[in-house]
Amino acid sequence: MIYEVFRQERKGQPFQHAGSVEAPDERFAEIYAREQYGRRQESAALWLVRRDALSEIDDFPDEFDLKYRRVDGYSIKTRLREAREKAGTLETAPGGEP
């Protein structure tokens, strides 16, 4: 059985995928995860999830190229400059364009 391990580095932070352990059951998995991802005090907490309990989605069709729904549809740089101009706080970067 494969268990995916998620690790929280400090209290309050989000859990991030750390890796996985193979173990015959949850008890073994907990002990192995503790030793593999916690023995160096590198984790505040761990989450263990059986791999077959995870649902994965990996298809995201975008047939009509709806750029405006994506974050890269906006140029933050241009909008930021416009906002600064409007507010009169535009500074000239040393030796170059603002």
Task: Enumerate binding residues for other proteins (CB under 8 A).
Answer: 21-24, 27-28, 31-32, 34-36, 39
Distance CA 95, CA 97 (A): 7
Nearest-approach distance from CB 25 to other proteins, in angstroms: 9
- Tell me the β-bridge partners of 8: 45
C-alpha to C-alpha distance for 20 and 37, rounded to whole angstroms:
10
- To other proteins, the closest distance from the beta carbon of 75 in angstroms equals 48
C-alpha span between 24 and 54 (Å, rounded):
18
Nearer to other proteins, 19 or 84 (CB): 19
Residue number, 34 or 81, with CB nearest to other proteins: 34
Residue closer to other proteins (CB basis): 27 or 77: 27
The distance of closest approach from Cβ of residue 28 to other proteins in the complex, given in angstroms and rounded to an integer, is: 6
Angular region, 18: left φ>0, alpha ψ -120 to 50, beta rest: alpha
